[in-house]
Amino acid sequence: MPRYQTQFLLSALSAAQFPQSAVPEVAFLGRSNVGKSSLINVLLGEPAARVSSTPGRTRAINFFALHVGAAAKPEMILADLPGYGYAKISRSISAEWPAFIDPYLASRETLAACVCLADMNVPPQPGDILLAEYLDSIGRPRIVVGTKADKLSGNQRTVAVNKLRKALGTEDVLVCSAKDGRGIGNLWLAIQNIAQAVRGTTAE
């Protein structure tokens, strides 16, 4: 697993506040309380992103720059997004999200991949499926992660993974836990492969 120096960049509440960037960015998306901030913290090896016991607390996009050593230019940026649909499921994701989320997903030029988190302890949710369809429709690569795997037995995990595969239309579901560290190495590999591919196509 790489060692990065993490730098909290800013907390954006509108598109005007998104940081200027020329490096690959990876966004973490999913229902409120699914474990986005926890997963980011485990990936970074430090409590950079705020974990809240009150679902739906994160209303901004929080940007974290990852530096290798003392390099001024970051290697990549991670973006922690607000969660959707904790209390009620609406037909549209954007109705529940701050208005700047859709433009972020559709227009952020450096966005290399979206890590889509789904809680393995509950059936795939309508919002998870809508998000997957939306990302596919705008051509954004997505990495599907089943979270909180530590709460399930081996058999339950197999069942949950198969449900997620079917609902989200991909064979590639990464099983992760921020609590016991399961799957974190594989998630790093997936993130770095995508970031590397993007760097390869934009190298000067």
Interface residues with ligand GTP (CB under 6 A) are: 30, 32-38, 51-53, 55-58, 83, 147-148, 150-151, 177-179
CA distance 93 to 107: 17
Supply the minimum distance, in Å, between the C-beta of residue 103 and ligand GTP: 19
Q: Indicate the residue whose CB is closest to ligand GTP.
A: 83
CA atoms within a 13 Å half-sphere pointing along the CA-CB vector of 130:
17
Supply the minimum distance, in Å, between the C-beta of residue 58 and ligand GTP: 3
**Can you give the binding site for Mg ion, defined by CB under 5 A?**
36-37, 58
Question: Which amino acid belongs to residue 170?
Answer: T
Length, in residues, of the chain: 204
**Cβ proximity to Mg ion, 30 vs 124, nearer residue:** 30
DSSP H helices, the chain, are: 36-44, 101-107, 126-137, 154-168, 184-202
Which residues, listed in sequence order, are joined to residue 96 by a DSSP beta bridge?
none
Supply the minimum distance, in Å, between the C-beta of residue 124 and ligand GTP: 16
Q: Indicate the residue whose CB is closest to Mg ion.
A: 37
Supply the minimum distance, in Å, between the C-beta of residue 110 and ligand GTP: 22
